[in-house]
Chains A and B, each alone.
Chain A
Amino acid sequence: MNDAFTASGIVSAAFWLTSLLTIAAAIMVVTLHDIFKAAVFLALSFVGVAVIFFLLNAEFVGVVQILVYVGAVSILIAFSIMMISDVSHGSQPNRGRYVAVTVSALVLAAIAVVAYNTNWTLNSSLEDPNAIAGLTGQFLEEEYASGDGRIVDLYAGDTTTAPSEWALQRAQTGVLADSTPTIGGLLVREFVLPFETIGLVIVASLIGGLALMRGRRNEPEARGGG
């Protein structure tokens, strides 16, 4: 076992707390009849998920989550609810809720069984010190200890720069190396094609959404002519 990858007690406690909060909010989302309140709880659960991302050392994803979900999707949904007058009916469950409970429980059981029965290859089982150093940012720890103090910019190859105070701290506490620049590099190098494709998808959905929304607007004119 390698302690470099295990979360500290505080992180664990925070994780459980956040998880409970998120799950509770999620349950509210799917059970509340008042759809507007459900949307508010949805935003809450989005925030909870973002916190979980931070706790998993995924700051960039967490920030994106807040920006996109909490900031955009939640607001979009809230506006939609306000624009559709039908919401006064509330969100009624259909007749198949027991079937839904059963199916969901089955899926959960399947996921749990897979999660607990699989022999995952974990970071903590790594033994190669270079690999550990690479993942934890403690690259060439010995040299660092000897006063050279290099921490490798993952895109700079062998060119070394003096580590920032923050990076040093992260390296010592055994978490992943600073992720944001690396993700940025990945997005525009290895994953450039999916990245561009996603852009296309978003544009397409934007145009599609616009087309759907204004599709009716022409018709009254046509009708007026007739």
Chain B
Amino acid sequence: MTLEHVLLVSGIIFAIGLYGVLSRRNTISLLMSLELMFNAVVIAAVAFSRFTPPAGLADGGIVTANEVRAALTGHVLAVFIIAVAAAESALALALIFALYRTKETVEITDVAEMRR
């Protein structure tokens, strides 16, 4: 397990998610694919945190506690992404409900509002 391997796995999941976003018609499927893409990104963030040193450490010089703590920035980023994704999914589901109520459909191909 090296950084490249983890990134590869992350990329595969991302691509699968993208495929889902591009190919499914059901908006809930779309949302699920989107969550997969989010997860792939979080994996990449954590992987970088695990395998690469913070800039301060790689540069050499005196090691300080701040530089060591910076090694976990990737984790913090991951937490933020998860939080945003959760908020997004809640909102997206609400939108899907709204769409379903107004258009009696959840198929994204039936919605072409952006043409106007």
Residues of chain A having any CB pair with chain B under 8 Å: 5, 7, 11-12, 15-16, 19, 22-23, 26-27, 29-30, 35, 38-39, 42, 45-46, 49, 52-53, 55-58, 60-61, 64-65, 68-69, 72-73, 76-77, 80-81, 83-84, 86-87, 89-94, 96-97, 99-101, 103-105, 107-108, 111-112, 115-116, 120-124, 126, 128, 130-131, 133-135, 152, 154-155, 157, 176-177, 179, 182-183, 185-187, 190-191, 194-195, 198, 201-202, 204-206, 208-210, 212-213, 215-216
Neighbour of A76 across the interface among B11, B39, B89, B106, CB < 8 A: B89
Q: Considering the chains assembled together, what is the distance between the CA atoms of A76 and B86 in angstroms?
A: 10
Q: A91-B25, A91-B29 are in contact. Are A191 and B76 (CB under 8 A)?
A: yes
| Interface SS majority for chain B | helix
B83 partner residues in chain A, CB cutoff 8 A: 68, 198, 201-202
B58 partner residues in chain A, CB cutoff 8 A: 121, 126
Q: Is the CB of A121 within 8 A of B1?
A: no
B53 partner residues in chain A, CB cutoff 8 A: 121-123, 126, 131, 135
Q: Is the CB of A186 within 8 A of B14?
A: no
Q: Mark B20-52, 1 if CB is under 8 A from A, else 0.
A: 101111101101110110010011001101111
Residues of chain B having any CB pair with chain A under 8 Å: 1, 3-20, 22-26, 28-29, 31-33, 35-36, 39, 42-43, 46-47, 49-53, 57-58, 60, 62-63, 65, 67-69, 71-73, 75-76, 78-80, 82-91, 93-98, 100-101, 105-109
Residue of B nearest to A30 (CB): B20
| Pairs of residues from A and B, 5 with the lowest C-beta to C-beta distance, nearest first | A30-B20, A100-B22, A111-B11, A209-B94, A108-B15
| Interface SS majority for chain A | helix
User: Least Cβ distance of B4 to chain A in Å?
Assistant: 5
B20 partner residues in chain A, CB cutoff 8 A: 29-30
A69 partner residues in chain B, CB cutoff 8 A: 35, 39, 82, 86
Q: Is the CB of B79 within 8 A of A80?
A: no
Q: Is the CB of A120 within 8 A of B52?
A: yes
Q: Considering the chains assembled together, what is the distance between the CA atoms of A39 and B32 in angstroms?
A: 7
Q: Is the CB of B9 within 8 A of A42?
A: no
